[in-house]
Chain A
Amino acid sequence: MKALSQRRRHPLAALALLLLGLLVTGGLYAVAGTVNEAKAQTTTYSAQDVEEGEKLFVANCATCHGLGAVGAREGAHGNQAGPSLIGVGAAAVDFQVGTGRMPMQMSGPQAQVKPKQFNEEQTGQLAAYVASLGAGPAVPSEEVLDTTKGDAAKGGELFRTNCAMCHNANAAGGALTRGKYAPSLEGVTGEHIYEAMVTGPQNMPVFNDANISPEGKRDIITFLKTIEAQGSPGGAALGSLGPVAEGLFIWTAGLGVIIGFTIWLTQRSS
């Protein structure tokens, strides 16, 4: 302990402390992540889940989606309120509520991702209630989300055909018409990606199992997780947004460097 306190003014002490802090935070995150994974998602809902879900629904969702989730044409201010949720399935609820998109904070071109309003249990109860209203896509099983069984190359092919035009070839997202946009897929869980494909949230088209098979969807998720893990060997990927971001960078930073060299070249040495 004495040796440690003697070295506290060492020039590298701050660096060592920073590294230690980063290691601890990273370690805690890793532990928290594995705890989350360990909780298996069950797709069978009890009658009590449905009952609890209905209570939550009436209190939090019925303003826009109507009692009994039949939908409401007009909202409080005369704008389009929520659609009917009969037949959207548990997957839609798990996606919309699980990513924080619902309940919506305010109407706009599209629902925004924000911190989750309901915990996992409540989300499950809401999903149970909505699933009980009519048959729809269920929350995917672990089998179809297991990226160790997926084929990233095949998934890349499917992604470039079906997804890349909106979500960008590197899944960095992109703009749509009139303020809408396709979000970045980085950091989105495989479960939510799968649910988005089967339910077609917001303006995203539906990719049902007849269009892209469950194995194909697993390949796509595997591809996304693979490119996410690979990262960018050059360091800054500039948002992977392509020529606009890269052009802006080279026109500002590159020209700045050239101007710097010109000034240096014409300056007298001291």
Chain B
Amino acid sequence: MGDHSHGDPNTSGTVATAGQGQVEKFQDPGLPPHRPRLADRDPRAEKRAERQVAILFAISVIGTLLFFVGYFSIHLDETTAVSTIRLQNLLLGLGTAFAMLGIGVGIVHWAKTLMPDHEVAEERHEIRPEEDRQVAEKMIGQILDESGIKRRPLIRNTLIGAGVLAILPAIGIFRDLSKNIDPDILRHTMWDKGVRLTRDPEGTPIKASDVTIGSAFHVIPEGLNELHEGKLNEKTKSVVLLMRLNPADLHVSPGREDWNYNGIVAYSKICTHVGCPVALYEQQTHHLLCPCHQSTFDLTQECKVIFGPASHPLPQLPITVDSEGYLVAQSDFHEPVGPSFWERG
């Protein structure tokens, strides 16, 4: 073997020295030789390819028929079972898929096997950059000249002013798309002094004695089910999770001593990250987990965030019992529920 001490390929004794001593130039290899396809040579193969294309188109026809079977033979009304609707979805989807796929695959197969396959070379356009640039420059110069925009500043300035102003109405129009622009609606919920805590979805009131240790109740405010307008909007703000712990497990901060009732606590179910319902309650670890981004709240520490992207604790609903023993709210939440917003403060 030769000398490896040189790194330069041109002087190394071991590395092949292809191209050395002659001008390096890429040679156009030209088109590969034309190779006739099976269908070009064998009439039986041609016949077979023809049949295959026809079969693919027939598959498309069957797909379309399948779609109409699903569309017309399954009637949807109030009593239709969900599984029937899903079956219809399946038929419509499969039918459309095969209808499209059959045509597409058939056409491609047709073109590949049966249509002429002679090679064609197309010459590139010549590039004339300098010439073209000059022509364009001349045209723009002529436009500027003839419009006289440089000579008549009054016209130019009024045009700029009109253009800027004309955009402004769009801001108003798009702003109107959001009717709920007033951030104060995010600060208040249906909860108020004396509003009973009721079961979701029935709306029946809950006695304090019903809530045994380890229980979790999904709660809506009394009167929510009677709302006709904006019921879902109100529900998304006011849903509450009610749980009972051993009072000794609760670490209550000053000022919140009477917010729980014998270890029964109520917290907003709306995650303070992006508003998913935090309802995965673990009754032994007292963790509340948000299923969307795994924010974890510790119920014993007034729903402090112990993991995940949420930024502040879940708001607590102060509760007590009324004269009949039913759980009622003492007031609304003391802070806005759900994720942060610009004006939250």
Contact = CB atoms under 8 A, between A and B. Distances in A.
Interface of A: 157-158, 161-162, 165-166, 174, 176-178, 180, 182, 200, 202-208, 210-211, 230-234, 264-265, 268-270
A208 B212 contact: yes
B101 to A, nearest CB: 10
B3 interface: no
Interface stretch (B222-230, B256-264, B277-285): B277-285
Contacts of B201: 157-158, 161
B287 A211 contact: no
B83 interface: yes
A181 B137 CA distance: 70
Nearest to B108: A265
**Chain B interface, >50% SS class:** mixed
Contacts of A158: 201
Contacts of B81: 230
Query: Which 4 residue pairs spanning A and B have beta carbons closest together?
Result: A210-B210, A205-B216, A203-B282, A230-B83
B210 A200 contact: no
Interface string B269-312: 00000000101111111010101001010000000000100000
8 contacts: A206-B215, A210-B207, A211-B199, A211-B217, A233-B86, A268-B35, A269-B112, A270-B38
Contact of B87 (A157, A165, A233, A265): A233
B116 to A, nearest CB: 12
B15 interface: no
**Chain A interface, >50% SS class:** loop
Contact of A270 (B37, B207, B287, B307): B37
Given A206-B212, A270-B37, A165 B279 contact: yes
A44 B282 CA distance: 33
Given A177-B287, A200-B283, A230-B83, A205 B296 contact: no
Contact of B291 (A165, A200, A207): A165
Nearest to A204: B283
Given A161-B218, A204-B283, 6 more contacts: A165-B291, A176-B282, A205-B216, A207-B215, A211-B210, A269-B37
Contact of B285 (A157, A203, A206, A270): A203
Contacts of B294: 177
B267 to A, nearest CB: 14
B39 A269 contact: yes
Contacts of B207: 210
